[in-house]
Amino acid sequence: MAKSGKRVAKARSSVDRKKLYSVDEAVALVKSNATAKFDETIEIAMNLAVDPRHADQMVRGVVALPSGTGRSARVAVFARDAKAEEARKAGADIVGAEDLMEQVQRGEINFDKVIATPDMMPIVGRLGKILGPRGMMPNPKVGTVTPNVTKAIEDAKGGAVEFRVEKAGILHAGIGKSSFDEAAISVNVRAFLRAVLKAKPSGAKGGYLKKISLSSTMGPGVLIDLSEVSAS
């Protein structure tokens, strides 16, 4: 515990909590402070000037991270017949219809992402109260309700990250691992920020970005300069 406490104190002392850092500076600091005995996740948190209770201020989307996420997602696909076979060939971990629905209803959720063909939505719709709170409910806006299950599976396993603003305008996501080199993390950060900027809703007035912070699982947060992001 003493060693852990010293490590945390040293990491915190290396970060000026009032300073706004460039993306590259923030990445370097976060990576240098990711000294846990496991491969920490690099996480981004954003405070947006939106109220997601209003439909015209909802922010959501999906972005393919150029450097990947550093983890292989387990993908479940709701499909039948030829589409089910296509999903299996594309590398889906679990494929089914009513049987998969019953599995989810029993609480057997041993997957990270869910994809569905459009004809499966009457079945998947019954699982909204289970999948919704977990951020797994398929949605055509982010490409997880689609007849092109091969591409959806490839995206899910190849570094695609979904994002959705929560109450109080907070949006957060894992965008890499501390084992990535700095350039790989930076390119992921910039790709994620571009996607969020592109997803700015019509109801967002004035300053859209309020605060951006980058951190590792066990490390302190580092504030990113909004002017650099807005100009990128």
Residues 109, 46 share a domain: no
- Which CATH number belongs to the domain containing residue 44 in this structure? 3.30.190.20
Closest to 180 (Cα-Cα) out of 213, 214, 212, 225: 214
Last residue of a domain, one of 157, 190, 218: 157
Whether 147 is in a domain gets the answer yes
Q: Could you report the per-residue pLDDT of 86-116, keeping only the tens digit for each?
A: 999 999 999 999 999 999 999 999 998 999 9
Bridge partners of residue 161, in order along the sequence: 63
Domain ranges, residue 171: 17-69+160-231
C-alpha distances (whole Å) from 76 to each of 84, 103, 117, 144 are 11, 11, 12, 11
Q: What is the pLDDT of residue 68?
A: 86
Read off the tokens for 139.
């949605």
- Which CATH number belongs to the domain containing residue 80 in this structure? 3.40.50.790
Locate all alpha helices (DSSP H) within the chain, ordered by sequence: 2-13, 23-33, 81-89, 98-105, 121-124, 128-131, 149-157, 182-198, 226-231
Last residue of a domain, one of 124, 157, 190: 157
Sequence-ordered list of residues with C-beta below 8 angstroms from that of 171, at least 6 positions apart, any chain: 45, 46, 47, 48, 59, 163, 164, 165, 196
Q: Compute the distance between CA of residue 213 and CA of residue 231 in angstroms, rounded to an integer.
A: 17
Q: Residues in the chain, how many?
A: 232
Are the C-beta atoms of 169 and 10 separated by less than 8 Å?
Answer: no
What three-state secondary structure class fits 166?
A: coil
Q: What is the pLDDT of residue 56?
A: 92
Residues 65, 85 share a domain: no
The label of the residue with tokens 């983890």 reads 71
Are the C-beta atoms of 159 and 66 separated by less than 8 Å?
Answer: yes
What three-state secondary structure class fits 146?
A: coil
Low-confidence stretches of the chain (pLDDT < 50) are 1
Read off the tokens for 39.
């491969």
Q: What's the domain count of the chain?
A: 2
Q: Could you report the per-residue pLDDT of 153-163, keeping only the tens digit for each?
A: 988 887 788 89
